Amino acid sequence: MAPASGSTPSVWQMQASGTTAGLRGIDSVDGKVAWASGTGGTVLRTVDGGGHWIKCAVPDAATDGKTLDFRGVQAWDAMTAIVMASGPGEKSRLYKTADGCGTWKLVFRNPDKDGFWDAMRFSSRDFGVLVGDPVNGKIYARLSTDGGASWHRFDDDDALSVGRLQIGLFAASNSALILPVNPKLIEFVASENGGGAYIYQGEFGTICGPIHPNEPLSCHDGFTWPAPDLIPLPSGNESSGAFSLACDQRPDKSIKVMVVVGGDYAKPNESTGTAVRTADSGGTWTASATPPHGYRSAVQWSEALKLWITVGTNGSDVSRDDGKTWQWLDDGNWNALSLPFVVGPQGRIARLDASA
């Protein structure tokens, strides 16, 4: 990719999606196979790098499927994927297909009438995590170890309690949550209305100890949660805060740099408080010296290009110095990112042209 400048309209090559739905979910399997999702029960699939996007069958089309807003999608290949609907109560759901989206199976429906799901990620075909806005004073969290067939709660830890604080996640691009593969970590960002932004970092493994005092030692699989860290990304109101988290996971699975982006979606051109970074795996966080040029809802590290890309409703930016400074890339209207693809409102899908 050539150095960014003020005139790079061809960096993102627009593709024909065949829909006018608002797209917030995108998952690229290998650059050729990719899945996208959005409003109106929309799910799309390509097997030729975006040359042709195929509209999938609508999950639960005979009932209320066309009212669902699929803000997250995770795919393993051209045939298998899970989509996450975000909405109040039972409008938050997970559907899975194993036949290339010809048919869908409802695998989980939100049982909490006050809940709202924000992000879903899998680090393997079996291991997945689902997080949502707080229910009964704790951030909603579920774990699957069987590819999404069943989901079990792990939000009983005190570290996930929010008390009286108005803390929640943003379901803007399904990227408020990441699952680095090795070790089995879960990291997600949440924001307090009128307060700050936080990063939660848990580690999955075997936990041993007495369930009650004076009882024998017992062991079980679960998450170890330290207290969440406050990061320097302001959240002045319900439309602002931390929206997306990414890490620079290397081929050897090591992680050094993490970047969080956000801002205020009601003020898309405001660049203050839109990106922070850590270069010591979360030990210390600092704001970008030159931030992205507006609100950002998704960010991703490209190991192939050795750079970071972030997108939002007024365009995209690139960083070649691990998030210290960001350069303007384009002025498109984008919601979510899974390289080489980007998606946005009105059925917008584009592919990154690294030679531009």
Give residue 1's pLDDT.
63
* For range 144-169, the mean pLDDT: 86
Give the 3-state DSSP-derived string for the chain, with helices as H, strands as E and coil as C: CCCCCCCCCCCEEEECCCCCCCEEEEEECCCCCEEEEECCCCEEEECCCCCCCEECCCCCCCCCHHHCCEEEEEECCCCCEEEEECCCHHHCEEEEECCCCCCCEEEEECCCCCCCEEEEEECCCCCEEEEEEEECCEEEEEEECCCCCCCEECCCCHHHECCCCCEECCCCCCCCEECCCCCCEEEEEEEECCEEEEEEEEEEEEEEEECCCCCCEEEEEEEECCCCEEEEEEECCCCEEEEEEEECCCCCCCCCCEEEEEEECCCCCCCCCCEEEECCCCCCCEECCECCCCCCCEEEEECCCCEEEEEECCEEEEECCCCCECEEEECCCCCEEECCEEECCCCCEEEECCCC
* For range 271-277, the mean pLDDT: 95
Give residue 208's pLDDT.
64
Q: Is 63 left (phi over 0), alpha (psi -120 to 50) or beta?
A: alpha
According to DSSP, the β-strands at 138-144 and 152-153 are antiparallel
* pTM given for the model: 0.92
Is the residue at 6 inside a domain?
no
* pLDDT over 80 (residue 253): no
The pLDDT tens digits of the residues spanning 310-324 come to 999 999 999 999 999
The pLDDT tens digits of the residues spanning 34-49 come to 999 999 999 999 999 9
Give residue 184's pLDDT.
74
Give residue 302's pLDDT.
94
Give residue 248's pLDDT.
87
Instruction: Band the pLDDT of 7: cuts 50, 70, 90.
Output: very low
The domain containing residue 293 runs over which residues? 22-206+217-352
Instruction: Band the pLDDT of 206: cuts 50, 70, 90.
Output: low
Instruction: Band the pLDDT of 173: cuts 50, 70, 90.
Output: very high
Give residue 207's pLDDT.
61
Instruction: Band the pLDDT of 5: cuts 50, 70, 90.
Output: very low
- Report residue 50 CA to chain centroid gap: 21
* pLDDT over 80 (residue 336): yes
* For range 89-112, the mean pLDDT: 97
CATH code for the domain of 201:
2.130.10.10
Q: Which among 265, 356, 269 is positioned nearest to 318, based on CA atoms? A: 356
Give residue 6's pLDDT.
43
Is the residue at 324 inside a domain?
yes
* pLDDT over 60 (residue 338): yes
Is the residue at 101 inside a domain?
yes
Tally of structural domains, the chain: 1
Is the residue at 16 inside a domain?
no
Give residue 29's pLDDT.
98
Residue type, 339: L
Structure tokens at 177: 């949550």
State the average pLDDT for the chain.
90
Is the residue at 211 inside a domain?
no
* For range 151-159, the mean pLDDT: 81
Beta bridge partners of 338: 341
- Report residue 65 CA to chain centroid gap: 22
Is the residue at 338 inside a domain?
yes
Is the residue at 298 inside a domain?
yes
Instruction: Band the pLDDT of 209: cuts 50, 70, 90.
Output: low
Is the residue at 212 inside a domain?
no
Cβ neighbours for 75, distance < 8 A, ≥ 6 positions apart:
27, 29, 33, 34, 35, 81, 82
The pLDDT tens digits of the residues spanning 211-233 come to 556 666 666 567 777 888 999 99
